[in-house]
Each structure stands twice: as structure tokens, then as C-alpha cells.
Amino acid sequence: MMKTKLSIIALLLMTVNAPVHAFDFGVKAVNSQNANTTKWACKKCNAQSTTGNVGLSIGGSISDDDNHSANALGYDDGFAGAIDANAATVTDSGIRTEFYAKELGSKRGDAAIAIRQPGLWSVAAGYDAKYRVDSTTASSNLVSEGNTLVAQDGLVVQTLDQDRDRVNIDAKYRGDNWSGFVSVSNEEKTGKRASSYSLGLYSATNFVQPVNSETTNLHTAINMSGSNWLAEVGFKGSWFDNDVDNVYLDQTNPLLIQTGSPDNSAMSFYISGRYRFDNTTITGKFSNGEQNQDESFSSLLGVSAGLTSQDLTLNTTDANLAFVTRISSKATVKGSFVYSDRDNDSPSYEFDQYQADELTGLIAYTNAMDRESTTSKLSADYRIKSGHKLSAGLAYKDSEQTITVREEKDETELWVKYRYDSLEMWDMRFKASYAERDGAEFTKYITSDYLQNEFMRKYDMADRERTEFVVDVTHTPLDNLSIDFRGYYALDDYNDTDIGLTESKDYGYDASANLQLADTLDVTVYGGYQWIDNDQLGSTTSSYADWAAENSDEFGFVGLSTQYTGLADYGVLLSAEYCFSYSEGDTAVSGSIGNLGEYESEEHSFEFNATYALTQTSTVGLKYQYTDYQDSDYAEIPVVNKAGDGVTNLTTLGYLSQDYDAHLIMATYNYTF
């Protein structure tokens, strides 16, 4: 503030004492005829430059559980190292190269590099790694070797985990009023997951299934533009390849026990555009394509002679049209129409199939299902006056699907929003909505629905009334204090359901507060809680409901983070964060069954960071992370069940719950240039 006052006083003195002259300081007034310009140069304006920072972290992880802690820390038990970077360099010709890396070297690292001539062309490549562990205690006497399960002499403890590695390459070129781009990505997923098979006679076996698949995506397009319009023509393609298409039991004649996801592809061409009038903008898109699956039958048992594979084709058509128009300085109207069609051109064959309970050998068909839907939306925004904004909208969706228990569905939604921010230090937003779903009468087909109770209603097909309320409040009572709150409540009422889900509630809140204490300490407190309650009716007969169940799930979290800069004059910066999260779920059934038990999980996590500035361009630091995780599931039972204990004729993977704590300590070095 003192510097500003001195500048104003100095300016006033200069104004009072300066004589008035009609000087012209414009570029056109410069007389450079006698000037020697051969040595003119800006010594501080070198076009070539490099800016950014790069960091190196080295340390170790100590965990009671070798792998599961990687979900929170990003590292297995043992050595830990990573590179972080955010740098850019510019050549004399203006070519810019950017490099980015975050935790590169960990289980969740990613990196990207881009080279571009601003306004002309660019080339970029990226890498992204993801890792997830479900359990490290799966126990089975079956171990996979490729696509084959080999029996062992005893139980073998195995890890249920999956790696995802994604690589992408992008290129763009811009010409006069046109541009084009191509984007290619490839993702490989490997690991193991829990699965099961049955050989009949009411028995089932859980096993560890290998995972090995690859997905490739391609998107390329050319677009053209004018002063008030834009048009684009493009192609999208996706190819999925599963190396674990079948799983066999190792024996004299390998026995097929499971078929995996078949190889498939999807391709489409599209054209899109945008046109802007004075106060109205119209956008639209039309695409047409097909999805294909050409996979050999895993077994020819019951297949008609001469057939060895099922060639499936699904034709896709999508179109949308939207507009935004400003009626006045206070009012805006928006609208859209979306059309989607899935036309199944796959051939239909007869196969010998056994019904699950009667073993009657009835003939069933592989039915080609078609789907078609249209969605219309209309909304308006109106600013009543400063600090008061009202919005309202209406949406209607009509869906048709063949060969299902309900071939037609209608869904309607009405919503209203109101924003009030005219009060100083307050910003409040409210939303209320009401939706209904109904449709055609329910029917029954000789398909997978044949043996189901005719009074049962699947929740995504059943009549439903949905009511929802949301409130968001931001309050800044002090210059150094801000508070945010969000509350929500939703009720789904399946009022015409006799057997199935009858009611569902989803409600909760999120809150946070940030306080700046003095100039050196920043504190943030946050937390939230969510409840999900479901009621359903069931039947042990083929008619009326004779039992009821209530399922309740809860999720909560609370945390505190702080940053301290009081030692910045000595080159020291400190930060810390603690978070506790909790979830539980239980199911209560009417009658003699009672409460089935609970699922619970909780996690404590703590992180501390300290950095010290060696110079103006380099810092060293210490990073410490701690996590304490545990979960328990009442549904878990031993691998082999005894009579009267657990589920008869079920072989499980044992107890999959986790209980561990883990520490991560890393020394860091960061260089800024």
C-alpha cells in the first residue's frame, strides 16, 4: 500500500511542475534517417528459452501387505522412486516442446511430451499407468498357466490385481480456415480377478481367472471454419482383443469351464457442425457405423451342423441437434434433440439348451435385440435482477427395445434451479427436480426371463417416481475464511412393483472450510457423509411377496490439511494432511433370517511434506505417507465348507478381507530453471 501512495504523489508532483508541450511520442514521429540501426538488439528478448522444473524422489515403502498398500501409496513393499517434471523449451523459430511427468516410476505414474508450432502443427505422445489390488489372500488349489487351470497339491495364496498401461499419440495440423487431427491410443490390461464355474449338480467353484486384453482406439477428423460457422467430418474406431477367450481345466481331455469376452470392434463415421446467427447458435451431429463380433464357438455341443462361429453385426445411427438463443440481456433459451438407433442384423439360430431347473431340453433362440430412443430437452435461464437467476427445464425420453419384458419406456423430468448471490459474502444455489418413468405393459418371453416370477420388476424397467433436491452454499464471512456446503436428497419410488426394488433413498452432505491464519498458516477442514437405503420385496413362490429386505449403505470421510510458510525466510516450507474414511453396509431380511451381517471398511491416511531451498533454483525435501486400512465382509466363508456351515457345495477363495498399515518415506530434490 505504501508503494502505491508514493507512486500517486510522485505522479501529481510531475504533473504540477511539468511544462506543457505538444510533443508527439508516436512511432510515426520518430526520425531514424540519421540513426545507425545495424547494432540495435534487445539483449533480454532471446527467443530461445527453457522454463519449468524437474524433481526426483527416492525412498522406500514398508507394508504389512506387499501389494494392497499400492492402492494408497502407489508402491509395493520395498524400493520407491519417481520423477516429476513440468518443463517447456522454445527455439528461435518458435517451436515449443513441453514435457510433463507425475509420479513416473510408481504404479500410477503418467508422462506426456508435446512438440508444436503454435497456430500451425503439433505432435504429442503420452503414457498413463494404473494399478488396482482387490486382495492378496485369495486361496485356491487351481493356478492358471495361460488359459489353463492346473490343480496343485494344496492351497496356493494368490493376488487379485490388475495393471492398466495406456499409450496415446496425437497429431494436429492447421491450415487456412481448416485443420485436421488424428488420435490413437492403446491400452493393455493384465492381471488376475475372481471368477467362478459350475459343472452342474448344484455345485460351484471360485477360482482366480487370468486377465489379458488389449483395446485400441482411433479418432481422426478434418474440420473447416468460417467467420460464423464450423464443420467437421471424422471417423472413430475401437478394437478389443481378449487373449483369455476360454478357460480350461487341465486333465486328459481339457475341459472348457468358462468363455471370456469375445473379440469385437466398433466403427463409425460422423459429420458435425455449428452455425452462429446474431443471437442464436445451432449445433448438430450425425453418425453412422457398426459394431462387429466374429468369434468361433467355444463348444459345438448342440450347434447345428456346419456352424463354427457366430458373426454378429449391430448397425448404429446417432443424431443430435441443439440450439442456444439469447432472447434478451436477461433471458436465454436452450433446446436439444437426440436420436439413437441400434439395429441388430445378426442371424438367428436354434440351439439345444437346458433350462436351469427342469432339464427339459426346450428349444430357445439367440434373439437379435433392437433398441431405439429419442430424447428432447428444453430449458431457459432468466436473470430476474442482479444477484437473482432462475432456470427451468423439461426433458422427455422415449425408448423402444425388442425381445424384452417391457418393449417401450417413457421418461419425463422437470427441474428448477435458483441462484441467489446478491448478498455480500453469500452465494446460494438450489435445485429441485421431479421425474417419472412408465411405459407399455410387461410381457414374458422364453429367454433368460422365462423362469423368473412374472410379478417381478427389474428396477431399470419398472415404473418409477423420482424426487431430488440439491443445495449448494458458499459463504465468506471474513476475508480469510471461506465455507462451502452441499446437501442432497433423492427418493426413488417404485410404486407399482409387487416383487423387486420398491424404494431407494440417496442423501447426504459435503462441507469444507478454509481459514488463512495470519500470513503464514493456511488450514482446510473438510468432511462428508452419504446414506443409501434400499427396500425390496421377494417371493419364494410364483405369485405374491412373502419376504422383505432392507439394505443400508453408509459412506463418510473427514480430513484436515495445513500449510505453514512462517519459515520461508529460511527456505523452509511445511505441509500436512490427515484423512479418515469409513463405509459400511448391512442387509436385514424379514422373518427368521434376520440381519445377514455387515460389510465394513475404514482407512486412516496421513501425509507430511517438508522442503528446504538450497538456492533460488533448487530445493531438497522429505515426504512421509502413512495408511492404515482394514475391511471385513460377513459374506466371506472358508475355502471348503462343512455341512451346516456356509454354503453347501461351494468352493470359495477364502477370506479376502485386508488389514494392514504401510509407511512411505522419500527424499526429494527439485530443480527449477
Q: In the structure, what pLDDT confidence band is assigned to residue 623 with cuts at 50, 70 and 90? A: very high
pTM for this prediction: 0.85
CA separation for the pair 448, 404 (Å, rounded):
10
CA separation for the pair 253, 514 (Å, rounded):
67
Comparing 179 with 248, the larger pLDDT belongs to: 179
Task: Give the pLDDT of residue 13.
Answer: 32
Which domain covers residue 226, as residue numbers? 115-203+212-252+262-297
- 476 occurs within a structural domain: no
- Provide mean pLDDT across the span 359-367: 48
User: For residue range 566-597, what is the model confidence (pLDDT) as tens digits?
Assistant: 999 999 999 999 999 999 999 999 866 677 88
CB proximity list for 92: less than 8 A, separation 6 or greater? 47, 48
CA separation for the pair 39, 49 (Å, rounded):
22
Task: Give the pLDDT of residue 405.
Answer: 81
Q: In the structure, what pLDDT confidence band is assigned to residue 650 with cuts at 50, 70 and 90? A: confident
- 183 occurs within a structural domain: yes
Phi, psi (rounded to 5 degrees) for 100? -135, 140
CB 245 within 8 A of CB 266: no
Burial 430-464 (b: 16+ CB within 10 A, else e): ebebebebebeebeeeebebeeebebbbeeebbbb
CA separation for the pair 574, 521 (Å, rounded):
10
- 184 occurs within a structural domain: yes
Stretch among 173-187, 345-359, 414-428, 497-511 having the lowest mean pLDDT: 345-359
- 456 occurs within a structural domain: no
Nearest C-alpha neighbor of 98 from the set 167, 49, 57, 47: 49
Provide the domain count of the chain: 1
Stretch among 224-228, 305-309, 628-632 having the lowest mean pLDDT: 305-309
User: For residue range 529-570, what is the model confidence (pLDDT) as tens digits?
Assistant: 999 999 999 888 767 888 899 999 999 999 999 999 999 999
Stretch among 18-22, 376-380, 640-644 having the lowest mean pLDDT: 18-22
Comparing 498 with 26, the larger pLDDT belongs to: 498
The answer, yes or no, to whether residue 644 has pLDDT greater than 80, is no
User: For residue range 412-470, what is the model confidence (pLDDT) as tens digits?
Assistant: 999 999 999 999 999 999 999 999 999 988 876 544 444 567 778 888 889 999 999 99
Task: Give the pLDDT of residue 34.
Answer: 52
Task: Give the pLDDT of residue 328.
Answer: 95
CA separation for the pair 664, 79 (Å, rounded):
10
- 95 occurs within a structural domain: no
The answer, yes or no, to whether residue 599 has pLDDT greater than 60, is yes
DSSP 440-505: SPP---SSTTTTS-TTEE-TTTS-EEEEEEEEEEEEEEETTEEEEEEEEEEEEE-TT-SEEEEEEE
Provide the sign of the torsion angle of the four alpha carbons 152, 157, 159, 160, taken in this order: positive
- 481 occurs within a structural domain: no
Please give the span between the terminal C-alpha atoms of the chain, in angstroms, as a whole number.
31
Stretch among 6-15, 589-598, 612-621, 626-635 having the lowest mean pLDDT: 6-15
- 179 occurs within a structural domain: yes
- 167 occurs within a structural domain: yes
3-class DSSP state of 4: helix
Task: Give the pLDDT of residue 458.
Answer: 84
